[in-house]
Amino acid sequence: MRNQETFNQKKQNVGLSASDLVKDGMAVGIGTGSTVAYLISELGRRIEDDDLNIVAVTTSYQSEMFAIDAGIPLANLLEYPELDIAIDGADQVTPDFFAIKGGGAAHTKEKIVAHSANRFVIISDDSKLVDVLDTVVPLEVIPYALKLVEKQVIKAGGKPVLRMGMKKDGPVISDNGNFILDADFGLIDDPRSLSRILSRCVGIVEHGIFSRIHEVHIASDDYVDILKC
C-alpha cells in the first residue's frame, strides 16, 4: 500500500509541476492516462479557485470525460489548429527526448495534438525514465490491413502481437475504430530510424514513437526534475 501511495504521490507531484506551465488565455492539449488525470484535476481547481481562463483539446474519450467533470472548457483542432502547449504522459522516455506512448491506445490523437502544439511536454515518474527504449511499440492499424502490417513489422525486425481486450471478447479497438498491435523490437538503439520505417508501413495509421518533445518533467520521491531540449 505504501508503494502504491508513493507511486500516486509522484504522479500528483508531476501533474502539479506541469500545471504551472499553463497560463491564462492558453489553448492546451491534454493527453491521456493516470498521470495526466492529476494535471486535469489541478487545472480544474485553478479554473474554479483562480479564475484561470483556458480552453483544452483532449486526446481521448477518457480525458474528455475527466476534463468535463473538472469543469475545463473544451474545443477541437478545427477551432484551435495551433495550441500553445500540449502535456501528456509516456510509457517510456529517454534523456535525449524520445518516448514511447500508446499504452492507452490513444497515441494517434496524442501525436496529432503534440504536433499541433508550439510546446510539447512529457510528464512521468522516474520508473519511466530509461537510457534506451525497450518496451513494445504500439501501432494503430486499419483492421483491413492487419496481416499486411504484421508482415511488414516482422520484416523490420519486430514481433507483432494483436492487443486483446481485458473485459471484452476480441481485440482492443481505438477511439478511431482501429486495432492496436504491440510490436516488440527489443532494445531500440535508433528510435529515429525505426520511426521512419514504421511511418512507411502501409496500413499503420500511427506508431507510438515520439520525438518532437520540448520538455520532460520526471517525478522522483522528493522532487520533480525538469529536462529541457
The pLDDT assigned to 15 comes to 86
Where residue 40 sits, what CATH number does that domain have?
3.40.50.1360
**Element of type H or E holding 88:** strand 85-88
110 is catalytic: yes
The one catalytic residue among 42, 110, 206, 215: 110
More confident residue, 131 or 224: 131
* In a shared domain, residues 162 and 68: no
- Mean pLDDT for all residues in the chain: 94
26 phi/psi in degrees, rounded to 5: -80, 150
Residue 200 domain-assigned (yes or no)? yes
Q: How many domains does the chain have?
A: 2
Where residue 174 sits, what CATH number does that domain have?
3.30.70.260
* In a shared domain, residues 193 and 109: no
pTM here is 0.93
Calpha distance 198→160 (Å, rounded): 12
Write out the residue range of the structural domain in which residue 156 sits.
Answer: 137-205
* In a shared domain, residues 106 and 13: yes
